[in-house]
């Protein structure tokens, strides 16, 4: 056990934990902070396996934490990327309606974008879609010039490096899974797999393990995190010319995901996806990955079954597509009809954490709560990576007030 008592311990080395470390240390350089991550490198789960998109703020309910933090965070993230040479490109995207029934919801998300101060957006017709993406077939769309792409893993590592450079007494620890929290009068002991760490205050940014660590810290949480895997394909070299930047469908308002889309990545590859299927392992990236505890926890929870029943048609289609390249291609051909089987090769996968209510409702907005000498980020789904610096700033403000740091 370390004898030093840190002012704050941050648990979780994804981009939200990194941004919190960076913002707290920048605002309070005298604080001794420790960041604890269970994997051997930072950003190894949701952050390092997401779509790499800098989101615009188009989809989120005006006035929500998602909407406010996405727009604010996007500006901060782009500025940070420029200053720290993080690979990125604000290249813009098109959102495409392919049938008449999609136009009313396309109008709704456009209105959302206006309300959320998503700068530069404009409605475009079929001919204008082709000016941006010549191989796309649609009847109408939205041009979103402020959307971009970024290397989120690099951004995470540079946020942490910046924070470490502000105070030589602050540090990071890798490879230490937090398995418990011991409470004392003036501090808490974070129990890791092989080490223990003392801190006056705790901030949990645990992503896929947020609910479990909250309960270890004594939070009475009714909801539960359930994981959904997203699989990607990549375009082969012969087909890369068919996608210039980013292409999104109009999302189905009855389904809690944005739908399969095309993304040109910062490394030059072009990804197609992701789908969304229930995963039997919270941190499982293979189609047949299985963990008994994760499966039991999810399938013994009533909210999971209510989500399944409420989205049964979508869920079945997603599972079929997960195991059928032909069906995945058919979905992609809805946007780019000229795509062929040889244009796709299997890509990577990611897992998203959804905080599910007992009624099967996805707790869609960001959720940050206090508990004693702790702050818990209980729900940080997309666009949390885009919004990370805004979220980190918000947590820093809450910590200063709640922990009486100033």
- Decide if 325 is inside a domain: yes
> Do 298 and 308 fall into the same domain?
yes
Task: Enumerate residues 6+ apart whose C-beta is below 8 A from 82.
Answer: 88
Mean pLDDT confidence for 327-338: 94
DSSP-derived secondary structure letter, 102: G
> Do 20 and 119 fall into the same domain?
no
Q: What is the dihedral of CA 135, 138, 144, 145, to 10 degrees?
A: 30
Contacts 24+ apart (CB under 8 A), 78-87: 78/54, 78/148, 80/155, 80/158, 80/159, 80/389, 81/150, 81/155, 84/155, 84/158, 84/162, 86/150, 86/151, 86/154, 86/155, 86/158, 87/150, 87/151, 87/154, 87/266, 87/267
Mean pLDDT confidence for 74-79: 98
What's the angle, vertex CA 273, arms to CA 139 and CA 145, rounded to 5? 55
CB 313 within 8 A of CB 228: no
Q: Show which of 77, 112, 145 is a domain's final residue.
A: 145
> Do 39 and 158 fall into the same domain?
yes
Model confidence over 198-223: pLDDT tens digits? 999 999 999 999 999 999 999 999 99
Q: Which range, 146-150, 314-318, 360-364, has the best average confidence (pLDDT)?
A: 146-150
- Which pLDDT score, from 0 to 100, does residue 8 have? 98
pLDDT band at 155 (very low <50, low <70, confident <90, very high): very high
- Decide if 299 is inside a domain: yes
Q: What CA–CA distance (Å, rounded) separates 251 from 259?
A: 6
> Do 342 and 245 fall into the same domain?
yes
Any bridge partners for residue 192, and if so which? 178
> Do 202 and 122 fall into the same domain?
no
276: pLDDT strictly greater than 90: no
Other CB atoms within a 10 A radius of the CB of residue 340 amount to: 11
Q: What's the CATH number where 369 sits? A: 3.50.50.60
Question: For the whole model, what pTM was predicted?
Answer: 0.95
Strand 196-204, strand 224-235: pairing: unpaired
- Decide if 54 is inside a domain: no
Model confidence over 80-105: pLDDT tens digits? 999 999 999 999 999 999 999 999 99
- Which pLDDT score, from 0 to 100, does residue 321 have? 80
Model confidence over 118-131: pLDDT tens digits? 999 999 999 999 99
pLDDT band at 256 (very low <50, low <70, confident <90, very high): low
Give start and end residues of each alpha helix (H) in 116-167: 126-132, 152-164
- Decide if 65 is inside a domain: no
Q: Show which of 122, 145, 168 is a domain's final residue.
A: 145
- Which pLDDT score, from 0 to 100, does residue 406 have? 67
Any bridge partners for residue 261, and if so which? 273
For residue 159, give Cα distances in angstroms to 90, 145, 272, 375: 20, 26, 28, 20
E strands, 57-137, are 88-89, 93-97, 122-125
pLDDT band at 313 (very low <50, low <70, confident <90, very high): confident
DSSP-derived secondary structure letter, 100: G
- Which pLDDT score, from 0 to 100, does residue 255 have? 67
pLDDT band at 396 (very low <50, low <70, confident <90, very high): very high
Tokens representing 383 are: 């666009």
Which candidate, 159, 162, 164, 168, places its Cα nearest to that of 4? 168
> Do 213 and 228 fall into the same domain?
no
The residue with tokens 């599910």 is 356
Model confidence over 358-389: pLDDT tens digits? 998 886 789 999 999 999 999 999 999 999 99
> Do 120 and 140 fall into the same domain?
yes
Range of the domain at 100: 93-145
What's the angle, vertex CA 60, arms to CA 56 and CA 158, rounded to 5? 45
252: pLDDT strictly greater than 90: no
> Do 40 and 173 fall into the same domain?
yes
Q: What CA–CA distance (Å, rounded) separates 230 from 322?
A: 9
- Which pLDDT score, from 0 to 100, does residue 362 have? 81
pLDDT band at 1 (very low <50, low <70, confident <90, very high): low
Tokens representing 61 are: 């309910």
CB-count burial class (<10 Å; 0-12, 13-18, 19+) for 177: middle
Share of the chain above pLDDT 90, in %: 86
pLDDT band at 328 (very low <50, low <70, confident <90, very high): very high
Other CB atoms within a 10 A radius of the CB of residue 271 amount to: 19
> Do 383 and 275 fall into the same domain?
no
> Do 324 and 343 fall into the same domain?
yes
- Number of domains forming the structure of the chain: 3
> Do 251 and 338 fall into the same domain?
yes
């Amino acid at each position: 056990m370390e004898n030093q008592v840190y002012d704050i311990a941050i648990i979780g080395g994804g981009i939200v934990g990194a941004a919190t470390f960076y913002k707290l240390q920048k605002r309070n350089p005298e604080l001794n902070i420790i960041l604890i991550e269970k994997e051997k490198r930072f950003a190894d789960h949701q952050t390092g396996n997401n779509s790499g998109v800098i989101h615009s703020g188009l989809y989120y309910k005006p006035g929500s934490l998602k909407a406010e933090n996405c727009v604010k965070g996007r500006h901060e993230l782009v500025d940070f990327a420029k200053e720290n040479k993080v690979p990125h490109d604000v290249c813009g995207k098109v959102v495409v309606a392919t049938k008449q029934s999609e136009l009313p919801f396309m109008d709704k998300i456009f209105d959302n974008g206006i309300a959320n101060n998503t700068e530069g957006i404009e409605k475009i017709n079929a001919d204008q879609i082709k000016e941006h993406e010549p191989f796309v077939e649609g009847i109408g769309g939205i041009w979103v010039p402020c959307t971009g792409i970024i290397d989120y893993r690099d951004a995470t590592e540079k946020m942490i490096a910046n924070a470490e450079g502000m105070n030589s007494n602050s540090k990071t620890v890798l490879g230490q899974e937090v398995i418990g929290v011991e409470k004392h009068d003036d501090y808490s002991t974070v129990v890791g797999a092989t080490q223990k760490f003392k801190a006056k205050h705790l901030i949990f940014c645990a992503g896929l393990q947020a609910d479990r660590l909250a309960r270890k810290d004594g939070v009475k949480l009714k909801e539960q995190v359930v994981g959904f895997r997203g699989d990607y394909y990549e375009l082969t070299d012969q087909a890369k010319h068919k996608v210039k930047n980013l292409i999104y469908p109009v999302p189905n308002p009855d389904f809690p995901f944005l739908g399969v889309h095309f993304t040109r990545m910062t490394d030059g590859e072009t990804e197609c996806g992701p789908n969304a299927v229930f995963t039997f392992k919270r941190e499982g990236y293979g189609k047949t990955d299985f963990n008994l505890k994760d499966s039991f926890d999810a399938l013994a929870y009533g909210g999971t079954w209510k989500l399944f029943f409420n989205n049964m048609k979508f869920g079945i289609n997603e599972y079929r597509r997960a195991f059928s390249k032909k069906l995945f291609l058919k979905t992609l051909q809805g946007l780019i009809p000229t795509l062929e089987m040889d244009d796709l090769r299997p890509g990577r996968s990611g897992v998203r954490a959804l905080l599910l209510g007992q009624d099967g409702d996805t707790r869609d907005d960001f959720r940050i709560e206090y508990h004693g000498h702790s702050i818990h980020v209980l729900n940080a789904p997309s666009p949390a990576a885009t919004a990370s610096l805004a979220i980190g700033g918000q947590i820093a403000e809450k910590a200063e007030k709640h922990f009486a740091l100033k």
